[in-house]
Amino acid sequence: MRVLNQLSQNSYEPISRELHEYLAIACRHHYRVLVELKEGGQFAALALMIRINQHHGEFLCLGFAEAVREVRLDRIRAITPLKLGAELTRLVLSPDDTVLLNTEYAG
């Protein structure tokens, strides 16, 4: 698996439990999601699973047509399910990654 964005020399900053729950639902349903990165840029992919690496943090595994790739969870700015009728809506993290904003469960 290829890591989408390079790991910086910064240590991993754990994400909130609420984001984990949100990502778990997206992965369980294999939602196609729009991922927005803190460093800029965005892309659409299938949410597959969360992988833990004890030395580098936690990663969202994403399915693309050509491969499975990973993005470190603390690099994600926002995630939006692209499926109509998805259980979840757009999730936006605050700049300090500790407060969840604009998160709603549609179900």
Which domains, ranges and CATH numbers included, belong to the chain? 15-101 (2.30.30.400)
pLDDT tens digit string along 30-69? Answer: 999 999 999 889 999 999 999 998 888 899 999 998 899 9
Q: H or E element: which one contains 26?
A: helix 17-28
The model's pTM: 0.76
Q: Record the tokens describing residue 2, joined without a space.
A: 């290829």
Give residues with Cβ within 8 angstroms of 94, minimum separation 6.
100, 101
pLDDT in tens, 4-20: 544 444 788 888 888 88
With b for 16 or more beta-carbon neighbours within 10 A and e for fewer, the 40-75 pattern comes to eeeeebbbbbbeeeeeebbbbbbeeeeeebbbbbbb
